[in-house]
Amino acid sequence: MENVLDLLEFFAERGRPASLAEVSEHFTWPRSSTYNLLSTLSSRGYLYEPIGRGRFYPTPRWLMISQRVSGAEPVPEDLLKLGLILRDETQETVCIGAAAGQSLVFLDVAPSPARIRYAAETGQRVPIHATASGHAVMSQWSASQRASLLRKVEFERYGVGSPMSIDAVEDRIRSGLHRGWFKSASSYSVDLGGVSVPMNLSDRTYSVTVAGPLNRVEAIMPELAVRVHTTVKRHFGADYFTRFVPNLASPPIELDTQP
């Protein structure tokens, strides 16, 4: 299974057909196993030979299946639009995330237009216990649900801001709820900072995170958090957090309704 995913990423980066020899050489796979993999995928309709025999490329079948999977539980359209709006207003990368086991997975990323930015990718996973995004999502769980997950965590020092115990994670969640937003400063990615809020939509909890280089965002985190709150209220209703995230405080300063 891992080889299939590696192969798909290889074609996505390459952008053109490849021969058995090129695939085998790129991955240092034995030619026999490479042949078996390419033959199997071809027979199932996932690869074809667009420019003659011996050179392979993915078919649209991959897209069809991914669209079916995404369509079964899509990210709410309004949430995707919110990510783009916040990206334009803050000029920083905005990530929409949700829990996936012990990870937080980015379901959508609106990248910053800045040359130096947080280069997150859709599908990327980060430790749910070590990130502002993860803390935002876990803040909406029951204490027993959080405890069940955190007991399984192997705490690791990713950066100077990494929480190193269950109590440290719980402290950050309590502080975030009281503050009205969750923050990260070199907690997982070194020299990266961000602010995040939880959003409960369609019976699922998502995180909306604005992140960027720490030297650019650390001093303005409160302003970014107010911007997130204000923009959410502008597009989801002034009482959104009161109705759907009642345990989250509001930042003390509100911005004008215009960006």
The pLDDT confidence band at residue 92, using thresholds 50, 70 and 90, is very high
Tell me if 251 is assigned to some domain. no
Q: What's the pLDDT at 43?
A: 87
pLDDT for residue 68 is more than 70: no
Instruction: Quickly count: other Cβ atoms within 10 Å of residue 238's Cβ.
Output: 12
Contacts for 58 with CB less than 8 Å, ≥ 6 apart: 8, 11, 46, 47
- 156/29 same-domain check: no
| Enclosing domain of residue 173 | 74-244
Tell me if 208 is assigned to some domain. yes
Number of structural domains found in the chain: 2
Average pLDDT, the chain: 90
Distance CA 134, CA 209 (A): 10
- 61/139 same-domain check: no
pLDDT digits (tens, 9 = 90+) for 240-254: 999 999 999 988 765
Supply the CATH number for residue 233's domain.
Answer: 3.30.450.40
**Mean pLDDT in residue range 140-156:** 94
- 98/31 same-domain check: no
The pLDDT confidence band at residue 259, using thresholds 50, 70 and 90, is very low
The pLDDT confidence band at residue 99, using thresholds 50, 70 and 90, is very high
Quote the tokens at residue 93: 């990368």
Contacts for 145 with CB less than 8 Å, ≥ 6 apart: none
- 167/192 same-domain check: yes
Distance CA 31, CA 146 (A): 47
Model pTM above 0.85: no
- 139/187 same-domain check: yes
Q: What's the pLDDT at 45?
A: 87
Supply the CATH number for residue 39's domain.
Answer: 1.10.10.10
Q: What's the pLDDT at 62?
A: 82
Instruction: Quickly count: other Cβ atoms within 10 Å of residue 96's Cβ.
Output: 24
- 104/167 same-domain check: yes
Kindly report the length of the chain: 259
